[in-house]
Homo-oligomer: A and B are copies of this chain.
Amino acid sequence: MEWKEDHLRLLDQTLLPHQSVWKELRTWQECANAIQTMMVRGAPAIAVCGCYGLALAALANEPDLNLVARSLLQTRPTAVNLQICLNRMMAIPQKTFVDLLNAAQEFEREDRELCNAIGENGQAIVKPNARILTICNTGALATAGDGTALAVIRHAHRSGKAIHVYTCETRPRMQGLKLTAWELLQEEIPFTSIVDSAAAMLMQSNQIDVVIAGADRIAANGDTANKIGTYMLAVIAAHHKVPFYIAAPRTTFDLATAEGSKIIIEERADTEVTTIEGHPMAAAGTKVYNPAFDVTPNDLITGFITESGIIKPPFSFDALGKR
């Protein structure tokens, strides 16, 4: 994702890893559509894209920026980062295009720094030769920087810890198999991809030392919404006494939401499951329940890797830095 004078350039993630196609987004509606269709995904990246969308609305002299902000927010309900960043933008007094563009660019810079700090702070829990299990994509494609969980992995690799990564393919959209593998291949980080349901067997045979996942929204008590399957990993990690960490920046913490049961879980279309890249898999008439996220209760989470160190609930605004 990069801002170019009067538009946002975005790598279309729905076409990866087959094609690297950069799209030019010139209106806030195009930004909203990019989020909704998952051309861009990952809670921090969604936030940056949405903020540039609000700046594009100002550039187009949209009369009601409140309405634009609400529309952008409605694209995907579960991740909180966009809401937190848009709230900060809407609190700017003048909200000229330049004001909003500056704010969006500041969020992008800030997210890069947050990723870096998460990567560094995570080293405390990654031992040499660690075999790390992760899910979905939490890397450069999901953030403005190195990622969240994947930043921890990148920093461990760069510091010579000889880690090995196991990536859950992450049905239904396969962000693990398509996006995380693509990022790990580029940086030559050793990894093995597995189907999601093989994670339990890997832990059973002592092949996983630690699980690190990202987050889309962390409630005040530490309950964490993340990609469907994260809760499954947390339960099986607890069963096998494997530490389970969440890596996320302060923009993912929603201290206004008391607990996980209050988090809205987005359900997406049946066709994400019944078709793959347009090819039908299931017989006509097959009904699907397709929640995009699940909620892991705080008691299954060993710790939260943040820019302020590794923390546990109750969280304070101080511990999470200036919001």
Q: Which residues of A contact B (CB under 8 A)?
A: 17-18, 166, 168-172, 174, 177-178, 181-182, 185, 191-202, 204, 228-229, 231-232, 235-236, 238-239, 273-274, 276-277, 279-283, 285-291, 294-295
Contact partner of A17 among B193, B283, B291, CB < 8 A?
B283
Question: How near does chain B come to A317, taking the closest CB pair, in angstroms?
Answer: 30
The interface residues of chain B lying within 8 Å CB-to-CB of A168 are 197
> Is there contact, CB below 8 Å, between A290 and B185?
no
The interface residues of chain B lying within 8 Å CB-to-CB of A239 are 235, 238-239
Most B CB contacts (10 A, CB to CB) among A18, A232, A291 go to A232
> Is there contact, CB below 8 Å, between B200 and A235?
yes
Across the two chains, which residue of chain B brings its CB closest to A207?
B289
Decide yes or no: A290 and B200 within 8 Å by CB, A169-B273, A232-B236, A281-B174 being known contacts: no
In the bound assembly, the distance between CA atoms of A195 and B239 in angstroms comes to 21
> Is there contact, CB below 8 Å, between B178 and A228?
no
> Is there contact, CB below 8 Å, between B195 and A196?
yes
> Is there contact, CB below 8 Å, between B286 and A177?
yes
Contact partner of A231 among B169, B204, B288, CB < 8 A?
B204
Known: A191-B287, A198-B229, A199-B232. 7 other contacts (CB 8 A): A17-B283, A192-B288, A193-B282, A195-B196, A200-B231, A201-B291, A201-B295
Decide yes or no: A288 and B197 within 8 Å by CB, A181-B283, A185-B283 being known contacts: no
In the bound assembly, the distance between CA atoms of A200 and B295 in angstroms comes to 10
The interface residues of chain B lying within 8 Å CB-to-CB of A192 are 287-289
Question: How near does chain B come to A293, taking the closest CB pair, in angstroms?
Answer: 9
The interface residues of chain B lying within 8 Å CB-to-CB of A285 are 185
The interface residues of chain B lying within 8 Å CB-to-CB of A166 are 289
Decide yes or no: A195 and B235 within 8 Å by CB, A200-B294, A282-B181 being known contacts: no
Subset of 22 A-B contacts with CB under 8 Å? A169-B273, A171-B195, A171-B197, A172-B195, A177-B273, A177-B274, A178-B281, A185-B286, A191-B287, A193-B286, A194-B288, A196-B197, A198-B228, A198-B232, A198-B294, A199-B232, A200-B229, A201-B291, A201-B294, A202-B289, A204-B295, A277-B279
Question: How near does chain B come to A19, taking the closest CB pair, in angstroms?
Answer: 11
Question: How near does chain B come to A267, taking the closest CB pair, in angstroms?
Answer: 11
Across the two chains, which residue of chain B brings its CB closest to A174?
B281
The interface residues of chain B lying within 8 Å CB-to-CB of A282 are 17, 177-178, 181, 193
The interface residues of chain B lying within 8 Å CB-to-CB of A169 are 171, 273
> Is there contact, CB below 8 Å, between A276 and B274?
no
Most B CB contacts (10 A, CB to CB) among A174, A178, A192, A235 go to A235
Q: Which 9 A-B pairs have the closest CB atoms?
A: A197-B229, A200-B232, A17-B283, A171-B195, A201-B294, A196-B197, A181-B286, A182-B283, A197-B232
The interface residues of chain B lying within 8 Å CB-to-CB of A235 are 200, 235-236, 239
Question: How near does chain B come to A73, taking the closest CB pair, in angstroms?
Answer: 24
Across the two chains, which residue of chain B brings its CB closest to A261?
B205
